[in-house]
Amino acid sequence: MPNPFSRRSLLPLWIAAAFALVATPRLAADLTWTPSTGWQLEGGALSGLAGPQGKSALALMNKARRYEEEGSLHAAIKTYEKVAAKYTSSVYAPEALYRSASLLVQRKQYYNAFGDFQLMLRRYPNTKRFNDAIGQLYRLASILLDGGHNRLWGFIPEFSNRTRAIEYLEVIVLDAPYSDYAPLALMEVARGYQFSGDKEEAIDSLDRLVNTYPQSVLAPVAYLKLGDLHASLTEGPKYDQASTKEAMTYYEDFMILYPGDANLAAAATGVDKMKTILSNSKIYIGDYYFYKRLNYVAAKVFYNEAITAYPDSNPARLAKKRLEELEARVNKQTIKPTTAPKKRFWLF
């Protein structure tokens, strides 16, 4: 019985495999352009598509580049986008989208530019320009966040749109969660929400940063900003102290995690302010029970909590004075009179 895996029987397969390797387009090849030769693939290949379609894609790419060199940016953009739409499997398609997006940025058509960069990343995630494109997306979002105006058709400025900038930054986090730009984008999202006055959303963005990217160089800054944001939500000793406690936690975490950071003094100052507010809030409640309700047991509990919250502080010293006053009043009430009170007679 002949061996089905003999060299003679495998020869046609080897020939077919070799042909396939030669015929397979180099989709990851580098593209270069010179005025004399036009667009070329590294190694001399002409296109990722075979036959007339490949030549057509190359012809359009060269046409678009000529428009670009002549300063006809609108015509160049349309031609590059035509290559990307018509020849999606060509090696020219990702480069065409990158160049069209870059030209749109020059014309300050930021919305369209973002769309082309994003399409390139989602359609060709293995492109060598991936990091460059993510960087461009971040740059566009930052321009809009700083009040940049998109230009309709390239010359009519529109109103600034920071909401869209935040949406773009969230797209970066979604599309490139493991890139260096993801924590940067979250930091910018927090800045955008702070600008609009939405502190809760800003806190959420920074919280995602410190939890998802704890090794990022931005993590210490995020911790400190979280402390500051929570501190800004604190309304004083007479109100709920949840934000005070949160701020104190982030300041203390910062001091533990980054003991050599240059902002250590700022964090320590934040802890001092929050502990002072928290301790004063205990005194405020203790005063209520002491002077208003005459509930000395409850008052004593809160005065002691004020001392525990921040020992050796001004609020702690005030709490100790209150305790001394409380003890004196309690002792006065427990002393029994030594002589019987005089009887009083009433005449009606």
> At residue 189, what is the residue type?
V
pLDDT surpasses 80 at 86: yes
Which residue ranges make up each domain of the chain? 51-106, 108-198, 217-331
Tokens of 322: 């209150």
Please state, in angstroms and rounded to a whole number, the distance separating the CA atoms of residues 173 and 151: 26
Nearest to 273, CA basis, from 253, 301, 245: 245
Among 15-24, 190-199, 339-348, name the most confident range: 190-199
Beta carbons within 8 Å of 68's beta carbon, 6+ residues apart: 76, 99, 103
> For the segment 131-157, what is each residue's pLDDT rounded down to a tens digit?
999 999 999 999 999 999 999 988 899
Instruction: Give the pLDDT confidence score for residue 48 in this predicted structure.
Output: 53
Predicted pLDDT at 54? 73
d(CA 118, CA 259): 40
The residue that leads in pLDDT, 347 or 344, is 344
* pLDDT given at position 44: 47
The pLDDT assigned to 31 comes to 81
Mean pLDDT of the chain: 87
Name the maximum alpha-carbon separation found in the chain.
140
Q: Which two tokens stand for residue 163?
A: 């909401």
Percent of the chain at pLDDT > 90 equals 75
Return the H-helix or E-strand segment holding 32.
strand 31-34
- Lowest-pLDDT choice from 1-15, 35-49, 263-277, 290-304: 1-15
Q: Spell out the SS3 assignment of 53-64.
A: HHHHHHHHHHHH
For residue 31, what are the β-bridge partners? Answer: 41
DSSP string, 90-156: STHHHHHHHHHHHHHHHTT-HHHHHHHHHHHHHH-TT-TTHHHHHHHHHHHHHHHHTT---EETTTE
Q: Give yes or no for residue 345 having a pLDDT over 90.
A: no
Query: Which residues pair with residue 38 across a beta bridge?
Result: 34
Question: What's the pLDDT score for residue 95?
Answer: 94
Question: Percentage of residues in the chain with pLDDT exceeding 70?
Answer: 84
Q: Is the pLDDT of residue 24 over 60?
A: no
CATH of domain 217-331: 1.25.40.10
Instruction: Determine the pLDDT at residue 51.
Output: 57
Q: Which residue has the tokens 């001394």?
A: 324
Helix (H, G, I), strand (E, B) or coil at 41: strand
If pLDDT is split at 50, 70 and 90, which confidence band does 3 have?
very low
**100 or 28: which carries more pLDDT confidence?**
100
Query: How many C-alpha atoms does 300 have within 13 Å on its Cβ side?
Result: 10
Q: What is the pTM of this model?
A: 0.80
The residue-averaged pLDDT of 54-77 equals: 92
